[in-house]
Amino acid sequence: MAPRKRITMHDHAAEASLFKRRALFTFVCVVILLSILVANLYHLQILSYKDYATRSNDNRIRVVPVAPSRGLIYDRHGKLLAENQPFYSLELIPEKIKDVPEVLRELSLVIPISADEQEDFLVSLKHHRRFKPLTLKNRLTEEQVALFSVNQHKFPGISVVAGLKRHYPYNSLMTHALGYVGRINDRDQAALRRSEQWKNYAATKDIGKLGIEKFYESLLHGKPGHLEEEVNNRGRTIRTLKSVAPQPGQDIYLTLDLKLQQKAMELLDGRRGSVVAIDPRDGGILALLSSPSYDPNLFVHGISSKAYNKLLSSKSKPLINRATQGQYAPASTVKPHLALLGLEAKTVTPKTRIWDPGFWQIPGVDRKYRDWKRWGHGWVDVTSALIHSCDTYFYDLAYKTGVDKIAEFMGPFGFGERTGVDIFEESAGIMPSKEWKRLRYNQPWYIGDTISVGIGQGYWTTTPLQLANAAAIMANKGRRFTPHLLKSIKDNTSKIDTPIDELAPIVLKNPENWDIVNKAMQDTAQKKRFKNAGYTAAMKTGTAQVISVAEDAKYDADAIAEHFRDNALVIAYAPYENPTIVLAVVLENAGWGGANAGPVAKALLDEYMLRDTLEPLQ
């Protein structure tokens, strides 16, 4: 017999109550979710409308920075020294190319790209962000641009870019004064960020690296502009909405005299050395030449590793600015300053005489310090000692004065410290003292060290710029200026002369001492090279030993290596009565100062003083 089915009775009231509770819960959830949705819509559409509208426009509108044109550089007479020239270059975006070396090989069949250029590019690529364009080849000709344009469809990710690049029309003539511009590197970027100037370089690829270009970067660079472009979702430009033109950099005029600089380069003719000329009336630098030099245009477009290593390894060291960084023993060119010290300290008087037998000895010491004239000059006073450059007289003067007094007196003339010239590449030289030697070498100072300083040798070193500056102070009878290269600045409206930095003058107890020393320098010039010059001048020559010669040995230039031979130096100024130009010439390993540096100084003063009067000096 089959079992009976169990009959279950439904509680309809309970089920209805359960349904109502579930429906109410579902309704509350829906209301809450709708409330959240409405709240979000209110937040997006009302509260955050401006923010999201701005973001939308930012995605739709692209701001493209526009680089300013760099300010031009002129000499004191308005001759153009640095300009901007149009150029075409090939740029490559690495992330758009799968096999860069293969593409380079194919591209070289269309446009000549040497193996060295390809290698340099691949090295640069390793340290470059792949989404940013990188210059592959500079200075394309119009024919090369046309050839690439025809074949551009074969090379996605590579394009021709037009722009302006710095150009130096006189090539190596002004390199060490002007410097050059080059590509902005990581070090430059870090420096710009520290100075909060990075935003002004968004579209700029070059920056001043040396010389005037670096020192006055803030004036020359200008301010960038920008374009506001509407773009589609693929980033393609639809139209230009707004254009703000960049502000070009300011043009600057230098104190340099192009013709004088050209004459200096012609006279040095590639020899190692330097020429510095200063206008003593305001400290303006008329010529600043370091030889040998190099073409700065090589660095503007990116110098190859091979060419740079050649400059770097050259025995002539063309990369060094000898005018401001070369350190040379001043030799006899500082005897006028030492004579002035002797007169001012009353160590000697204009009538003080000593006997010069051709040597000098420290009392009680057998060693003899030789005069350049082995048989001596006989009886000499301060004037004849300067005219004939008597070493014996200045050995004795230094011994009686002491090195610390010498160092103290020479400080205001600028020895042993930077002049403050408006380029960064400058050395301080050395003005030795007892304290200096103790700090530098942890050694005591010996009397023999003082004797060497008495003729501008030993530890004493100076740059040609320091030497010219000290000579200018002598010619000015104590009036001092900071040497400078900037003469005036020109913007869109006017040309403004820069202020002159005049320093506190050197005041002597007896001002007549200036006249005694300067008159001796004039007599030196008139008795030697400037007797029939057509103008009055003053000068002092010097011959600096590069290596020491034994006490009883005779210097023989032919018997020693060329780079161990004496340096030739000269300081000169003209006209004597009211100087308008002061020169310092240094020729490395050239030998006798009067015979080798003297003719250079004479030719330069002739160029400046006797030039066509139709072109007045400014």
pLDDT, tens only, 396-430? 999 999 999 999 999 999 999 999 999 999 999 99
Q: Enumerate the domain spans of the chain.
A: 63-254, 258-487+502-609
Do 501 and 481 meet the contact criterion of CB atoms below 8 Å apart? Answer: yes
CA distances 418 to 108, 283, 290, 541, Å, are 50, 14, 18, 23
The yes-or-no verdict on residue 275 having pLDDT over 90 is yes
Strand residue runs (E) in 123-180: 134-137, 158-167
Residue 513's pLDDT is 96
Length of the chain: 618
| Residue 270 zone, left/alpha/beta (φ > 0; ψ -120 to 50; rest) | left
CA distances 531 to 267, 388, 520, 524, 610, Å, are 21, 16, 14, 10, 15
Of 123-132, 311-320, 568-577, the poorest mean pLDDT is in: 123-132
Binding positions are 356, 371, 377, 390
Residue 616's pLDDT is 40
Average pLDDT over residues 154-176: 89
For the chain, what is the mean pLDDT? 87
Q: With H, G, I as helix, E, B as strand and everything else as coil, classify residue 92.
A: strand
Residue 487's pLDDT is 95
Residue 147's pLDDT is 86
Residue 13's pLDDT is 77
Query: Residue 573's closest CA among 533, 601, 531, 542?
Result: 601
Task: Convert the pLDDT of each residue in 231-266 to its tens digit.
Answer: 665 556 667 677 788 888 999 999 999 999 999 999
- Find which of 43-47, 119-123, 179-183 is predicted with most confidence, using mean pLDDT: 179-183
Q: How far apart are CA 593 and CA 424, in angstroms?
A: 29
Query: Would you say the CATH fold of 258-487+502-609 matches that of 63-254?
Result: no
The yes-or-no verdict on residue 615 having pLDDT over 50 is no
Please return the burial class of 461, using the count of CB atoms within 10 Å of its CB with bins 0-12, 13-18 and 19+.
buried
CA 501, 507, 511, 517 dihedral sign is negative
The yes-or-no verdict on residue 14 having pLDDT over 80 is no
Query: Residue 524's closest CA among 542, 505, 537?
Result: 537
Q: What is the band of 52 on the pLDDT scale with cuts at 50, 70, 90?
A: low
What's the CATH superfamily of 258-487+502-609? DD-peptidase/beta-lactamase superfamily (3.40.710.10)
Contacts of 58 (CB under 8 A, 6+ apart): none
Residue 613's pLDDT is 45
Residue 269's pLDDT is 92
Task: Convert the pLDDT of each residue in 18-41 to its tens digit.
Answer: 778 888 888 888 888 888 888 888
User: What single letter denotes the amino acid at residue 149?
Assistant: S
Q: Which residue reads 């014996």 in tokens?
A: 392
Task: Convert the pLDDT of each residue in 475-489 to its tens digit.
Answer: 999 999 999 999 999
Do 79 and 258 meet the contact criterion of CB atoms below 8 Å apart? Answer: yes
List, by residue number, the catalytic residues. Answer: 332
CA 227, 228, 230, 231 dihedral sign is positive
Average pLDDT over residues 222-230: 79
Q: How far apart are CA 557 and CA 576, in angstroms?
A: 35
Q: How far apart are CA 528 and CA 533, in angstroms?
A: 11
Task: Convert the pLDDT of each residue in 306-363 to its tens digit.
Answer: 888 999 999 999 999 999 999 999 999 999 999 999 999 999 999 999 999 999 999 9
More confident residue, 440 or 67: 440
Query: What would you report as the CA-atom Rg of the chain, rounded to the nearest whole angstrom?
Result: 37
Bridge partners (DSSP) of residue 62 are 229
Task: Look at domain 63-254 and name its CATH class.
Answer: alpha beta
Query: Residue 519's closest CA among 541, 495, 536, 505?
Result: 536
